[in-house]
Structure 1
Amino acid sequence: MISNYLKTGWRNIIKNRGTFMVNIIGLALGIASVIMIMLYVSSELSYDRFNKKADRIARVVFRANINGEEMNEAVVMAPVAQTLENDIPEVTDATRLAKSHNNRLEYNGTYYGQSNLGYVDPNFFQVFTLPIINGDQGTPLDKPNTVVISETLAKNIFGSADPVGKVIRVTNRDESYTVTAVMQDIPENSHFHFDILASTLGYVNAKKTTWMQSDFFTYLVLKEDADIAEVEAKLPAITRKYMGPQMIDAIGMSYEEFQKDNDLGLFLQPLTDIHLHSDFSDATTLEQGGDIKYIYIFSIVAIFMLVIACINFMNLATASASKRSKEVGIRKVLGSNKKQLIYQFLAEAFISALLASVLAIVIFAISLPGFNQLAGKNIEFYSLLKPVYVLCLIGLIFLITVLAGGYPAFYLSSFNPLHALKSKFSGSGKNSGIRSGLVVFQFVISAGLILATLVVKEQMSYIQNKDLGYEKDQLLVVHNTYLLENNEDNFIQEIKNNPRVENLTHSAYVPAGESYNEAGGIFLKGEFLRRMYFYNVDENYIPTMGMELLAGRNFSKDYGNESNNVIINEKAAEALGFGQSAIGKTFQRDTHEGLQDLHVIGIIKDFNWKSLHKEIDPLILKMNPHGGIIIKSKTADMSGIIEVLNSDWNSYNPKEALNYSILDDSFNHTYLKEQKMGTILTLFAILTIIVACLGLFGLVTFTAQQRFKEIGIRKVLGSSASQIVALLSKDFIKLVGISFLIAFPLSYYLMNKWLQDFAFRIEIKWWLFLLAATITLGTAFLTIGIKSFKAANMNPVKSLKIE
C-alpha cells in the first residue's frame, strides 16, 4: 500500500513539474539553512563540555562599581581558591590558572619563538579533562619549575624524541623548566588554549596573600548535588571576612564604609556559560568568546527560512486544488476514503521533502567552506554523518512532511465528490484567506530581515566613519621592538629618517587591536578614589596619533625628567573633580613603593581607546616609552615602509620576525562578530526573499490559470497589458504592504535592543524603513509582474475557445 502511495505520488509530482521545482528549491534552501545553523549552534554550545566534571565546575569572577567605574573581571585574587575550598563545604576542589605573556622558548640553543604559557596549580589535571599521552599521568606538576607541554609543541621542538625529562628555557622570564608530561592538544571548543602549562609551585605571584589584587582565573568543583546559587550566596560574607582587614590598610577605609557608596563582590559563572555568556573586560579574558544573542538570532532565522519554504508548499498545494478536484472526486467515487487520500497527499509531501533534503545536502557541501570562513569555524562535512545529526535530518524530513503536507492533505481530501467532479473550487473564501495570511507571514520575515540587515550595515558604517578622537588611517604598529634590546634606539632612529615616515612614537599602547594595558589605584589627598588606566607614551604620541590637546602642554625633553607629570583625558579630569582647571593639579597613584604624586600638565580631548561598545573611560598618559613603535605613514600604500622595516629589522639578526599590524585593520577586527552577523543576515535576507518570491510566483501562476478566460475577455474588450498586470498584482502587493505594518515595528524593537550593546550607536531613521519597503516591494512586484505580463500578452483566442 505504501509503495502504491509513493508511486502515485511520484507520478503526480512529474505531472506538475513546475510546482514541484518551486517546492523543491524552496525546501532545499530552508533545509540547508537549518543544517548549517544546526552544526554552528551545536559547535558553539559544545564549549568546555568535553570536561567530565563540566556541569560541576564554576569560575569565580569579580564585579564592582567603584565611583562610577564598572569592573567586570574574570580574574580574582590569589588566595581565593584555597579560601573557598576551605570555607565552603560544597566545594570539593579548587584550582587556578594565570596567563603569562610574550613567552619565548629555547631548547639546546635553538630558539622556537613565542608560545602560550599558563601557570596552573598541581591539581589542574584533576579538575579539567586534558589527557596525558606521555609521562607522569598522576601528578606531573607537583614540583616547582615543571611543565606539561602540548603534543604539537612536543613534535615541533623534540620531533620523534621523548621530551619527558628534557629542560626547556623561557628566555624572557630567564627560567628553565623540566618537561614531566605531554598532553593532547587542548580541544578547539575550550575557552582557553595553551602550549605549556607550568606549575604554580615555582610562580611567585601564586604565593601572594593579598585580597586587593586580581591575577588568577579560579575554578571550583562543586559537589554533585550542590546548588550554585546557594554557594554564591556565601561569597559576600567570605569577601567581607578576608578583604575587610586588608582594605583598611590599602585605602584607609573599612569594608562597611566602602560598601556604602560602592559595590563589589565575587560571583560564580558555570564553566559551560563562559564562551557564550561573558561580559568581562578584554584585559581579563583568556580568549574572545561567542555571544548567545547571535545563537538566538541565527537559530530563529534558520527556522523562519524552513517555515517560509513549508508555507510555499502549503500555499501552492491548496491553490492547485481546482486542478486536482476531479482526481479527488473520481477517487472518492471509486471507493477511496478520506484516510487513504490523506496518506496519498502526505506521500507526495514526503517525496518532496526527501528530494529537497538530498539537494539541501549538496547545497550544504558546496557552501560549507565559505560558511566556515565567514563564521570562523572548522565544521567538516562528515559531521553531518554523526548518528545524532542523521536522526535530526530524518526527523526534519518527517516534520516537513507534516508541516508542509498536513494542511493540503486534509484540505484536498475533504472535497465533496459531487462538487469535485464539477470542479466547483475557485480557491476563494476561507482557504484564500489562509493563503493570504501565510503570504503576509512570509513577507513579515523577509521585510524584517531586510530592515535588520540595513540597520547592521548602517551601524557598521557609522563605526567606520565616526570621529574617534584619533586618526587610525595610515598608522603602522610594530609590537616587538623591545626584542632588539640595545639596538632598539638605533632601529627607531633609522625608521624616523625614512622619507616615507611622517611621524613616529615609541609606545606599544594603541586604542585598537593588540595593546598593552596598565591600571592603578588613584588617590586624592591620600583618600582612595577609584582605579584608572594608564598609557605609557613619549612626547610624539599625541601628534603621531592625531589627538587634540585641549589645555596645557605636551611632554617635552626640554622640561627634563617628566616621570611624575601626566596628561589626562576629559573623562579623567571629570572623575578627579578637576574639570577644565586640571592643569597644575596633583593626585596620587598607588605603587609598590607607596603613593606617587602625579602632576597634570595637559588635557587631551576624549578618544575611543576602548571598543565603541563601551563608554569612554578616564585615561592617563604617562611619560614612559617602551614596548613597540607606532609609525604614521605619508601615504596610504605602506608596502614600501614595511619592506624597509623588514630589511632594517633583519640587519640586527633578531631571534624573531618583525611583528607588525595596520591599526585600521586591527580596528576593523574589533567588530568582526558584528561584521559577520551583518554578512550572515544579508545572506539570509536574500534567501528568504528568494524563497518567498518563489511561492509568490507559483501563486500568481495559479491565479492566472484560474482567471484564464477572464483575461481573454478583458483583452477582447480593450484592456491593455498594464491593466491586466495591475489586476493580477494588486491583491498580492496589498498583502506585501500589510506585512510591513507587522514587520517594521517588530524589527525596530529588536534592532533597538541589539543597538543597546553599543555605547555609540545610530538612530534608526525613517529612510531605512523606506529602503527596506522599496527593496521588498520591488522584488515582489518584479516576481508578480513577470508572470502577470506573460499572462496578459497571451492570445485571447486561445483562452476563449477552451471549453
Structure 2
Amino acid sequence: LLLLLVPLLNNQLQTNLNISNLLAPGVLLAIGAMFLITGVLSGSYPAFYLSAFKPIAVLKGKGGRAGNKVLRSILVGIQFAISIFMLVGTLIIYDQMQYLRHKDLGFDKDQVLRMVLDNDAAREKWPVLKNKLLENPNIRGATTSTTSPGRGFGKNVMSVETNDGTMEQYGVDSYGIDYDYLPVLGIDVSAGRNISSKYPTDTASAVLINEAMVSRMGWSDPIGKKFQFDRDSTKFHKVVGVVKDFHQRSLYDPIEALLFIPSLNNSNVLVKIGGDLNASIRSIESIWNDVFPNMPFEYSFLDEDFMEQYETDQLRGRLFLGFSVMMIFIACLGLLGLASFIAEQRTKEISIRKVLGANVSGLVTLLVKDFIILVALGALPAFGFAYYFMGEWLDTFEYHVEMNYVLYLLVLTIISAITVITTGYHALRAASSNPAENLKYE
C-alpha cells in the first residue's frame, strides 16, 4: 500500500516522502514499538478475560458467554464518532473552499492573465507590448500595476488631511496603478472619477482611495482631500476618486484602507482575455516573444494566484477527506466482524422468533437497529467536537460560510446507510436461515 500511495501523497500534499525513509533506525524503532504496544493492548483483554473463567462454571455452561457487550459497543461507537467528525470536517472545509472560489471579491478575476516585467528595459517597452496585445480582438484590456489582488503591497507613513483640514501622520497601505487598472479588473468608482490620460497632471498630483479609507478617516467629502508623501516637501496629492471596496488580500483579512498612486512604470502586467482562452494565450506568447526575444514567456492566472493564499486550507481538506475514507473503512471492518459475531450469538433467538411468526424484515430490523443506535450515540460527541473545532477554524476567516447543519444530517444519513449495508448482509442471512437446522440440537 505504501508503494502505491506514496507517489499519490507526494502529489496531493506537496511532500517529498520516500519509501527508503522507513529504513531509518528511528523509524524502524517506532514501527517496532507500535507493533509491540498494539499487540499487547489488543491481546491482553481477551487473554485476561479468558484466564478469569472459572472451570466449574464453564463446564456447567454458565461461564462461557463471550466478551463484554458494553466494551464492544464503546469501541465501535468511538470508531463511528471519529468517522463522523472527520466527514463533517471534510464537508465544512469543502463548503468554505467553494465559498472562497465563488464569492464576489469586488473585481473580475476570471481569465485575467498575469505576467511580469522584471527589469527597467522591459518596462520601457510596455507601450509597444500593450498596443500589440490590443490588436487581438480576444484581448479586452491590458494594464500594469506594482502589485495585484492576492499579493502584498507597501505601507508608508505620510501626512493625511483630516476632516477638520489639519495634516496628521498615518501609516497608509498603497500601490501604483496605471490608467486602465480599474476598467480591466472591473472595479467601479463610487465617487469622483478614475485617473486618466485626459488629465496631464494626474500622474503628478492625483490619487485614488477606496471606501475603507473614507471610513477610516471619517471624511464627509473625500474628493479633494490631500496626501503629503514627504513631510519636507510642499507637494500635495489630491483625491480625485473613490474606488469601491474589493478584496486585495485573502478572506482571512478585512478589507483594508488603500491608496492608489498613478504610476506608468510597473512590473505586473494584467491582461483580460474575452475570447478563446488557448488561442489567446498562444497569441500573447507570440507577441511577447516578438517584443522580448530574450525573455522567457511565463504567466499565471489571477484567480489561481488568489486561491494560492488558501493552499494550507485546501491541503487540510484533502487530508480530512483521506482520513475520513480511511476511518470509515476501518469502522466498517469492525462493524462487519461485530455484526457477524452478534448474528451468530443470536441465531437460536432469531430461530425461535421466526417459529413464533416473526417475518424476515422484522428480524433484520431487530438486528440492525442496535448498530443504528451506536451510530446515533457516536454522532453526539462527534457533532459537538465538529461544531467547536470547525467553528474555530471558520472564525480564522474574516468572511466565511455560516455553520451548515444540513451537512451534519447528511453525514449521519451517509454513515447510517453504510451501517445498514454493512450489517444488513449478516442480519438477512441469520433471519433467512432454517429454524429447524438451528434448533435441532435443543
| TM superposition score normalised by structure 1 | 0.52
Secondary structure at the counterpart of residue 407 of structure 1: helix
Is residue 176 of structure 2 the alignment partner of residue 523 of structure 1?
no
Q: Which residue of 2 aligns with 1:387?
A: 25
Please say if residues 453 and 678 of structure 1, whose CA atoms lie closer than 8 Å, have aligned partners that are also in contact: yes
Q: Which residue of 2 aligns with 1:448?
A: 85
Q: Which residue of 2 aligns with 1:612?
A: 251
Distance in 2, matches of 1:529 and 1:802, equals 97
Please say if residues 446 and 688 of structure 1, whose CA atoms lie closer than 8 Å, have aligned partners that are also in contact: yes
Is residue 271 of structure 2 the alignment partner of residue 631 of structure 1?
yes
Q: 1:397: how far off?
A: 0.5
For each residue in 1:291-331, what CA deviation from the matched residue of structure 2 results, as whole angstroms up to 9, or x when unmatched? xxxxxxxxxxxxxxxxxxxxxxxxxxxxxxxxxxxxxxxxx
Q: What does residue range 107-146 of structure 1 map to in structure 2 within 5 Å?
A: none
Q: What does residue range 535-546 of structure 1 map to in structure 2 within 5 Å?
A: 535-546=175-186
Q: What does residue range 295-694 of structure 1 map to in structure 2 within 5 Å?
A: 363-424=1-62, 425-427=64-66, 431-480=68-117, 484-512=122-150, 515=151, 517-525=153-161, 528-563=168-203, 564-579=205-220, 581-590=221-230, 594=233, 596-625=235-264, 626-635=266-275, 637-694=276-333
Distance in 1, matches of 2:215 and 2:253, equals 18
Secondary structure at the counterpart of residue 558 of structure 1: coil
Distance in 2, matches of 1:517 and 1:629, equals 16
Paired residue type of 1:657: P
For each residue in 1:261-299, what CA deviation from the matched residue of structure 2 results, as whole angstroms up to 9, or x when unmatched? xxxxxxxxxxxxxxxxxxxxxxxxxxxxxxxxxxxxxxx
Q: Structure 2 regions of 5+ residues with no counterpart? A: none
Q: Structure 1 regions of 5+ residues with no counterpart? A: 1-362
Deviates more, 1:791-800 or 1:538-547: 791-800
Q: 1:528: how far off?
A: 4.4
Please say if residues 117 and 123 of structure 2, whose CA atoms lie closer than 8 Å, have aligned partners that are also in contact: no
Please say if residues 507 and 627 of structure 1, whose CA atoms lie closer than 8 Å, have aligned partners that are also in contact: yes
For each residue in 1:7-56, what CA deviation from the matched residue of structure 2 results, as whole angstroms up to 9, or x when unmatched? xxxxxxxxxxxxxxxxxxxxxxxxxxxxxxxxxxxxxxxxxxxxxxxxxx
Q: Which residue of 2 aligns with 1:282?
A: none
Paired residue type of 1:520: N
Is residue 363 of structure 2 the alignment partner of residue 724 of structure 1?
yes
For each residue in 1:671-691, what CA deviation from the matched residue of structure 2 results, as whole angstroms up to 9, or x when unmatched? 111111101101101111111
Match of 1:786 among 422, 425, 435: 425
Distance in 2, matches of 1:727 and 1:485, equals 77
Is residue 410 of structure 2 the alignment partner of residue 760 of structure 1?
no
Distance in 1, matches of 2:251 and 2:188, equals 19
Q: 1:728: how far off?
A: 0.6
Distance in 2, matches of 1:388 and 1:528, equals 61
Q: What does residue range 734-753 of structure 1 map to in structure 2 within 5 Å?
A: 734-753=373-392
Distance in 1, matches of 2:45 and 2:190, equals 70
Distance in 1, matches of 2:189 and 2:116, equals 26
Please say if residues 426 and 706 of structure 1, whose CA atoms lie closer than 8 Å, have aligned partners that are also in contact: no
Task: Indicate how the Cα distance of structure 1 residues 596 and 388 shifts in structure 2: closer, same or farther if over 3 A, else same.
Answer: farther
Q: Which residue of 2 aligns with 1:304?
A: none
Please say if residues 138 and 274 of structure 2, whose CA atoms lie closer than 8 Å, have aligned partners that are also in contact: yes
Q: 1:719: how far off?
A: 1.9
Aligned residues: 434
Task: Indicate how the Cα distance of structure 1 residues 701 and 423 shifts in structure 2: closer, same or farther if over 3 A, else same.
Answer: farther
Q: 1:527: how far off?
A: 5.0
Q: Percent identity?
A: 35
Task: Indicate how the Cα distance of structure 1 residues 366 and 396 shifts in structure 2: closer, same or farther if over 3 A, else same.
Answer: same
Q: 1:749: how far off?
A: 0.7
Task: Indicate how the Cα distance of structure 1 residues 569 and 683 shifts in structure 2: closer, same or farther if over 3 A, else same.
Answer: same
* Structure with greater contact order relative to length (CA < 8 Å, sep ≥ 6): 2
Task: Indicate how the Cα distance of structure 1 residues 611 and 596 shifts in structure 2: closer, same or farther if over 3 A, else same.
Answer: farther
Paired residue type of 1:569: N
Q: 1:396: how far off?
A: 0.5
Task: Indicate how the Cα distance of structure 1 residues 486 and 545 shifts in structure 2: closer, same or farther if over 3 A, else same.
Answer: closer
Task: Indicate how the Cα distance of structure 1 residues 392 and 641 shifts in structure 2: closer, same or farther if over 3 A, else same.
Answer: same
For each residue in 1:102-152, what CA deviation from the matched residue of structure 2 results, as whole angstroms up to 9, or x when unmatched? xxxxxxxxxxxxxxxxxxxxxxxxxxxxxxxxxxxxxxxxxxxxxxxxxxx
Paired residue type of 1:707: R
Secondary structure at the counterpart of residue 509 of structure 1: coil
Secondary structure at the counterpart of residue 555 of structure 1: coil
Please say if residues 589 and 595 of structure 1, whose CA atoms lie closer than 8 Å, have aligned partners that are also in contact: no
Please say if residues 368 and 381 of structure 1, whose CA atoms lie closer than 8 Å, have aligned partners that are also in contact: yes
Please say if residues 521 and 528 of structure 1, whose CA atoms lie closer than 8 Å, have aligned partners that are also in contact: no
Secondary structure at the counterpart of residue 639 of structure 1: helix
Q: 1:392: how far off?
A: 0.5
Task: Indicate how the Cα distance of structure 1 residues 394 and 622 shifts in structure 2: closer, same or farther if over 3 A, else same.
Answer: same
Q: Which residue of 2 aligns with 1:4?
A: none
Q: 1:550: how far off?
A: 1.0
Distance in 1, matches of 2:389 and 2:425, equals 34
Higher strand share: 1
| TM superposition score normalised by structure 2 | 0.93
Paired residue type of 2:170: R
Distance in 1, matches of 2:152 and 2:393, equals 30
Is residue 337 of structure 2 the alignment partner of residue 701 of structure 1?
no
Paired residue type of 2:81: V
Secondary structure at the counterpart of residue 174 of structure 2: strand
Paired residue type of 2:54: N
Secondary structure at the counterpart of residue 559 of structure 1: coil
Distance in 2, matches of 1:752 and 1:434, equals 32
Q: What does residue range 90-109 of structure 1 map to in structure 2 within 5 Å?
A: none
